[in-house]
Amino acid sequence: MKALFFFRYVLARLTYLVLRLPVASFQAEVEDLWGLEPNERLQRLSCILNKNQPKDAQGVAVHSLSELPDRPPMSKADLRAMSAASSTVASSFSRHTAGTTGEPTHISLSRTELAQMLAVRAYCYNKHGLKLGQREARVWGRAANSLTAKIRDFLLNRKVFYPAEDGAEETVEKLVKWSPEYLYGYTSLILEAAQIAQKKGLKPRGVKAVICTAESILPAQKKFIAEVFGAPVFEEYGSTEFDVIAFECSRGHLHLVNPWLWVEEEEDTVLITDVSRKSQSIVRYQLGDAVSLAKADCSELGSMCSIEELRGRTAQQFAYINPKQKFHAVVFGRVLDSYMRNFNDCFRFTIRQKEYNSFYFYLSEQPSLGMRHFRSWISSELITKLELQQDLNIVVSCDNAKAGREKFTYFVQEIKS
């Protein structure tokens, strides 16, 4: 078995070489850049930026980091328009994302740029005892059924598992039997796999780490997943445009890890500039997520700057008591996490608001102490935390389909303006 694992790992690494993706050399550059003193790194980034001179949202070239605060933010629509009008560097690879609006955004990448992305991922994995190319269980949506996708997954030493809908239990059994060295995927689906594994008494062996991406994960959920798979759980924050942006260290800090990205925090969205990108100009790009950045006294991974709080998509940030009184939806996450920790429960959930002061909680399964207890406790906690003088209209139901299966946000705002 060990010989097979090693052979598949070597095959995956050879695949990168055949595709002329110098991941190892760029991984060394990532290490080098994060090893520099802060001022020295800023000078290095400014030099790269000045050499490439990417254009801002108005088509004006940027020459240094000091110019960035005065440049206009770039929307996804701006990026699409600039890419359509540009005929600069030919790209060898591309990615597509629909985003929150459903409008497709095309991301162009040269071999160098893709290799840099993979190098950042390899750097993060290496810090946790993993290597890019090891046996990966990708807990994702349904695997593409094309021959190309099957060959790609085989060469990259990964297999896609979709533990949802009919056949979920069989899928999790196959996942455990496949003996992955690490799991990577949507938090909701990994949590679903963990719950099924626990109920069926499955004992995963040899898992070195679980990496949750694309969705928020609560501490109680992280603890549950770690216990089931017998491995530490790490959170990744990324996007189709940049791949890995931040990665969690063993001390729990979500460090910025891509040394070629300049990240700015604004009230309603994070702004990202890629100083090394040549195939597309990405300057002060509005990713659509609101984050809080802070300096952590930790140099374990990447930057000393980490994401203290990831508040998610700006379109889904606020819940309303009335047209003038609102609160940040992150409060729901904190209260639900507190409930799970206090009563040793773990489940998936989605909260929808269709009317003022009314909230519909959809749970993947019934809480161990019952729906009435859950509703009473949650209502009391929310009223206390929000210092409300009125009751909340809370409706709770056990609806596995609405509790989130694939990529989702735990709060959905549906009030019609």
The structure tokens 């009230």 sit at 267
Identify the three-state secondary structure at position 316.
Answer: helix
Residue 87 pLDDT exceeds 80: no
Structure-token pair, residue 220: 């109680």
Summarised one tens digit per residue, pLDDT across range 241-259 is 999 999 999 999 999 999 9
Distance between CA atoms of residues 376 and 144, nearest Å: 44
In this prediction the pTM is 0.82
Residue 236: which of 153, 159, 335, 302 has the closest Cα?
302
Mean pLDDT score, 135-164:
87
Mean pLDDT computed over every residue of the chain: 88
Q: What is the pLDDT of residue 103?
A: 52
Cross-sheet strand order for the sheet of 261-265: 261-265, 270-274, 285-286
Q: Greater confidence, 98 or 366?
A: 366
CA distances from 130 to 134, 186, 383, 388, 411 (A): 7, 19, 44, 48, 33
What's the pLDDT at 389?
84
Percent of the chain with pLDDT over 70: 91
pLDDT band at 400 (very low <50, low <70, confident <90, very high): low
Question: How far are the Cα atoms of 44, 111, 333, 359, 391 from residue 363, in angstroms, in the given order?
Answer: 49, 44, 13, 13, 21
Q: Smallest Cα–Cα separation from 132: which of 301, 17, 274?
A: 17
pLDDT confidence band for 235 (50 / 70 / 90): very high
DSSP state, 190? H
Task: Note whether 372 and 415 are within 8 A (CB).
Answer: no
Confidence of residue 104 (pLDDT cuts 50, 70, 90): low
pLDDT surpassing 50 at residue 320: yes
Q: Once rounded to an integer, what is the mean pLDDT over residues 84-93?
A: 63
Least confident of 77-91, 133-147, 293-307, 327-341: 77-91
Q: Is residue 35 over pLDDT 90? A: yes
Query: What is the sign of the dihedral through the CA atoms of 162, 167, 173 and 177?
Result: negative
DSSP element (H, E) containing 220: helix 219-229
pLDDT at 314 over 50: no
% of the chain exceeding 90 in pLDDT: 60
- CB-based contact 281:83 (threshold 8 Å): no
Q: Whose CA is closest to 405, among 211, 42, 18, 142?
A: 142
Whole-angstrom distance, CA of residue 115 vs CA of residue 19? 10
The kind and range of the H/E element at 198 are helix 187-200
- Confidence class of residue 184 from pLDDT cuts 50, 70 and 90? very high
Dmax over Cα atoms in the chain, in whole Å? 65
The residue that leads in pLDDT, 165 or 323, is 323
Give yes or no for a contact between 311 and 290, defined as CB atoms under 8 angstroms apart.
Answer: yes
Q: What's the pLDDT tens digit per position in 49-68?
A: 999 999 999 999 999 999 99
Alpha helices, H only, 19-110: 23-35, 38-52, 76-85
Split at pLDDT 50, 70, 90, the class of 402 is: low
Cα–Cα dist 365/345, whole Å: 10
- Distance of CA 229 to CAs 179, 221, 257, Å? 11, 12, 26
Nearest to 303 by CA among 389, 245, 220: 245
Q: What is the dihedral of CA 111, 112, 118, 119, to 10 degrees?
A: 150
Averaged over 313-340, what is the pLDDT?
Answer: 79
For 58-67, the CB contacts below 8 A with 24+ separation are 62/273, 62/283, 65/262, 65/275
pLDDT at 129 (0 to 100) = 95
Taking alpha carbons only, the member of 250, 273, 191, 185 closest to residue 224 is 191
Given the structure tokens 């679903």, which residue do they identify?
A: 192
DSSP character string of 64-85:
-GGGGGGSPPB-HHHHHHHHHH
